[in-house]
């Protein structure tokens, strides 16, 4: 099956710093990738849809300038949390769908746990 990786798997940073999270589709090209956020004991909330070569589409309430998304290639999307604060601490998960998937099936990365001190 299709594999999606994320790096790093966990990161701890100081308040005010920026953190970049990578999402890679390892064995397929993904024109679209999705970024989700999950707070403890809560469900996954879609943050943004990342389209290769164009600007990401953000969900209502998600700050574009704080969560910078870049989808520079068909296998890589990055999420940069700028000027991170403790309230940004969360589990970030990406997903991607092969373009030839007949049912828009999506494959999820293992997630990145961000802790902001």
Query: Where along the sequence are the contacts to other proteins (CB under 8 A)?
Result: 31-32, 34, 36, 41-44, 46, 49, 51, 93, 95, 97, 99, 101-106, 108-111, 113
Query: What are the contacts of 67-73 at 24+ separation with CB within 8 A?
Result: 67/35, 69/35, 71/33
- Tell me the closest approach of the beta carbon of residue 13 to other proteins, in angstroms: 18
Closest to other proteins by CB, 49 vs 82, is 49
Closest to other proteins by CB, 16 vs 96, is 96
| Length of the chain (residues) | 117
- Tell me the closest approach of the beta carbon of residue 16 to other proteins, in angstroms: 26
Closest to other proteins by CB, 32 vs 70, is 32
d(CA 30, CA 77): 9
Nearest alpha-carbon partner for 23 in 86, 99, 87, 107:
107
């Amino acid at each position: 099956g299709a594999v999606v990786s994320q790096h790093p798997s966990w990161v701890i940073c100081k308040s005010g710093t920026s953190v970049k999270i990578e999402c890679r589709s390892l064995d397929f090209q993904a024109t679209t990738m999705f970024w989700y956020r999950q707070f403890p004991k809560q469900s996954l909330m879609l943050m943004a849809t990342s389209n290769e070569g164009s600007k990401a589409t953000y969900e209502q309430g998600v700050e574009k300038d704080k969560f910078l998304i870049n989808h520079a290639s068909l296998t890589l999307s990055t999420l940069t949390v700028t000027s991170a604060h403790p309230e940004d601490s969360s589990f970030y998960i990406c997903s991607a769908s092969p373009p030839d998937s007949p049912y828009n099936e999506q494959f999820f990365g293992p997630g990145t746990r961000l802790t902001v001190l």
